[in-house]
Amino acid sequence: MKPIIYISGPYSAETYLGRQQNILNAKRRYIETLKSGEWGAICPHTMTAEMEIHVPEMGHEEWIMADITMLAQCDAIWADYLRNKKSTGTRLELAWAILAGMPIHLGSRAPSVSSILRNNRRQDLMDPVCKDLMEDVQKIFEMVSDGMIPDPVFYNGSALIPEVKP
């Protein structure tokens, strides 16, 4: 069975065209991931495109909660963070993944399984991101304590990281 990678990136935008561009960017990364042959993938953008029109009663925070619940089922996250630092959803998804100990890919190209394992948790890459996300980590703790999202402490782990037996 292939590991599942979560495609993180901005959805919301100030304009309809901006939102469509965000969806297309995520779809491009989703296709790139699937074509690699190494991954299964979850791309919330393709699953929920324009749902704000069909389910207007769901607010932004509810969509974030649904996205993080999907993320909790994955083996890794691909967050093109340097291009998407302003996205609230990307920041919260990445903060959750950091707290869960999930393998993380921050680049703009689809990772191979071997590269995500080799580069996972490199201090030179992760330290600035962790520092930048401190407020988002706090928001994750608040959302967990309010029962809104799964607790990253109870993340079932990644198929990419063998379970360590005591």
Query: What CATH class is the domain 4-154?
Result: alpha beta
| pLDDT number for residue 58 | 82
DSSP class of 112: P
Distance between CA atoms of residues 157 and 101, nearest Å: 8
| pLDDT number for residue 84 | 67
| pLDDT number for residue 108 | 83
pTM score of the predicted model: 0.89
| pLDDT number for residue 164 | 41
Angle between helix axes 123-132 and 134-145 (nearest 10 degrees) is 70
| pLDDT number for residue 12 | 85
pLDDT along the chain (166 residues), means of 10: 93 90 94 94 87 81 92 93 79 94 88 83 78 93 96 90 53
| pLDDT number for residue 166 | 38
Q: What count of Cα atoms within 13 Å lies in the side-chain half-sphere of residue 114?
A: 1
Measured CA distances, 149 to 72, 88, 161 (Å): 9, 15, 23
